[in-house]
Amino acid sequence: MLSATNRQIRLARRPQGEIAAEDWEHVTEAAAAPGEGQFAGRTRFVSLDPAMRGWLDDRRSYLPPVGIGEVMRAGPVVEVTESNHPDFRIGDLVVGTFGVQEHVVSDGRGAFRIDPTAAAPSAYLGALGMPGMTAYFGLLDVGALKEGETVVVSGAAGAVGTMAGQIAKARGCRVVGIAGGADKCALLTEELGFDAAIDYRSEDVRKALRAHAPDGIDVYFDNVGGEVLDAALANLAMHARVVVCGAISQYNSATGVQGPSNYLNLLVRRARMEGFVVFDYAPRYREAAREIGNWIAAGRIKVLEHVVRGTVDDFPRTLQMLFRGENTGKLVLELL
Amino acid sequence: MLSATNRQIRLARRPQGEIAAEDWEHVTEAAAAPGEGQFAGRTRFVSLDPAMRGWLDDRRSYLPPVGIGEVMRAGPVVEVTESNHPDFRIGDLVVGTFGVQEHVVSDGRGAFRIDPTAAAPSAYLGALGMPGMTAYFGLLDVGALKEGETVVVSGAAGAVGTMAGQIAKARGCRVVGIAGGADKCALLTEELGFDAAIDYRSEDVRKALRAHAPDGIDVYFDNVGGEVLDAALANLAMHARVVVCGAISQYNSATGVQGPSNYLNLLVRRARMEGFVVFDYAPRYREAAREIGNWIAAGRIKVLEHVVRGTVDDFPRTLQMLFRGENTGKLVLELL
Residue B104, CA distances (Å) to B65, B68, B113 in order: 21, 19, 15
Say yes or no: A163 and A71 in one domain: no
Residue ending a domain, among B264, B279, B294, is B279
Band (pLDDT 50/70/90 cuts) for residue B256 is: confident
Q: Residue A323: inside a domain, yes or no?
A: yes
Span A231-255, average pLDDT = 93
Contact B280 A270 (CB under 8 A): yes
**B86: phi then psi, degrees, rounded to nearest 5:** -65, -25
pLDDT at position B3: 53
pLDDT at position A193: 97
Say yes or no: B146 and B99 in one domain: no
Q: Residue A287: inside a domain, yes or no?
A: no
Sequential DSSP letters for B122-190: GGGGTTTSHHHHHHHHIIIIIS---TT-EEEEESTTBHHHHHHHHHHHHTT-EEEEEESSHHHHHIIII
Q: Residue B44: inside a domain, yes or no?
A: yes
Contacts of B256 in chain A (CB under 8 A): 261
Give the Cβ contact number of residue A65 at 10 Å.
Answer: 17
**Maximum C-alpha span of chain B:** 64
User: Domain containing A99 — which CATH number?
Assistant: 3.90.180.10
Say yes or no: A112 and A168 in one domain: no
Please check the confidence at residue B35 and state whether its pLDDT lies above 80: yes
Span B25-54, average pLDDT = 96
Q: What is the pLDDT of residues B123-149, one digit of tens each?
A: 999 999 999 999 999 999 999 999 999
Higher-scoring residue by pLDDT: B233, A118: B233
Say yes or no: B161 and B273 in one domain: yes
Out of B257, B267, B277, the one facing A277 most closely (by C-beta) is B267
Residue ending a domain, among A246, A263, A279, is A279
Q: Among A78-92, A113-127, A167-181, where is mean pLDDT lowest? A: A113-127
Nearest-Cα distance to chain A for B93, in Å, is 31
Q: Residue B176: inside a domain, yes or no?
A: yes
- Percent of chain A exceeding pLDDT 90 equals 93
Contacts of B261 in chain A (CB under 8 A): 256-259
Q: Residue B295: inside a domain, yes or no?
A: no
Please check the confidence at residue B68 and state whether its pLDDT lies above 50: yes
Contact A259 B230 (CB under 8 A): yes
CB A177 within 8 A of CB A198: yes
Out of A257, A263, A280, the one facing B264 most closely (by C-beta) is A257
Say yes or no: A138 and A63 in one domain: no
Q: Which sign, positive or negative, has the C-alpha torsion B309, B310, B315, B319?
A: negative
Please check the confidence at residue B22 and state whether its pLDDT lies above 50: yes
3 state DSSP class of A228: helix
Span B60-72, average pLDDT = 93
Q: What integer best gives the mean pLDDT of chain B?
A: 95
DSSP 8-state secondary structure symbol assigned to residue B67: P
Say yes or no: B107 and B170 in one domain: no
Band (pLDDT 50/70/90 cuts) for residue A66 is: very high
Out of B264, B272, B276, the one facing A247 most closely (by C-beta) is B264
Q: Residue A298: inside a domain, yes or no?
A: no
pLDDT at position B311: 97
Say yes or no: A11 and A79 in one domain: yes
* Number of independent structural domains in chain B: 2
Contacts of A246 in chain B (CB under 8 A): 267
Q: What integer best gives the mean pLDDT of chain A?
A: 95
Please check the confidence at residue A3 and state whether its pLDDT lies above 80: no
Say yes or no: B120 and B138 in one domain: no
Say yes or no: A19 and A157 in one domain: no
Q: What is the pLDDT of residues B160-169, one digit of tens each?
A: 999 999 999 9
Sequential DSSP letters for A60-81: --SSPPPPTTSBPP---EEEEE
Residue B197, CA distances (Å) to A247, B132, B203, B209, B216 in order: 34, 20, 10, 10, 16
pLDDT at position B252: 82
pLDDT at position B2: 47
State the pairing for strand pair A174-179/A150-154: parallel
Say yes or no: A176 and A224 in one domain: yes
pLDDT at position B88: 97
Span B52-77, average pLDDT = 94
Residue B208, CA distances (Å) to A3, A20, B34, B231, B269 in order: 56, 36, 56, 9, 19
Q: Residue B284: inside a domain, yes or no?
A: no
Cα separation, A246 vs A275, whole angstroms: 9
pLDDT at position A251: 85
User: Domain containing B150 — which CATH number?
Assistant: 3.40.50.720
Range of the domain at B14: 5-125+304-335
Nearest-Cα distance to chain A for B128, in Å, is 22
**Helix, strand, coil fractions of chain B, as percent rounded to 5:** 30, 25, 45
Say yes or no: B155 and B170 in one domain: yes
Cα separation, A40 vs A89, whole angstroms: 10
pLDDT at position B251: 85
Out of B259, B265, B274, the one facing A272 most closely (by C-beta) is B274
Please check the confidence at residue A1 and state whether its pLDDT lies above 50: no
Band (pLDDT 50/70/90 cuts) for residue B205 is: very high
Please check the confidence at residue B189 and state whether its pLDDT lies above 90: yes
Residue A110, CA distances (Å) to A290, B19, B180, B248, B331 in order: 20, 60, 50, 48, 59
Band (pLDDT 50/70/90 cuts) for residue B32 is: very high
Cα separation, B336 vs B333, whole angstroms: 9
Say yes or no: B110 and B11 in one domain: yes
Q: Residue B290: inside a domain, yes or no?
A: no
Band (pLDDT 50/70/90 cuts) for residue B1 is: very low
Contact B267 A245 (CB under 8 A): yes
DSSP E strands, chain B:
5-11, 24-30, 39-47, 77-83, 93-95, 103-106, 112-113, 150-154, 174-179, 196-199, 217-222, 236-244, 272-275, 305-310, 330-335
Span A16-27, average pLDDT = 95
pLDDT at position A62: 87
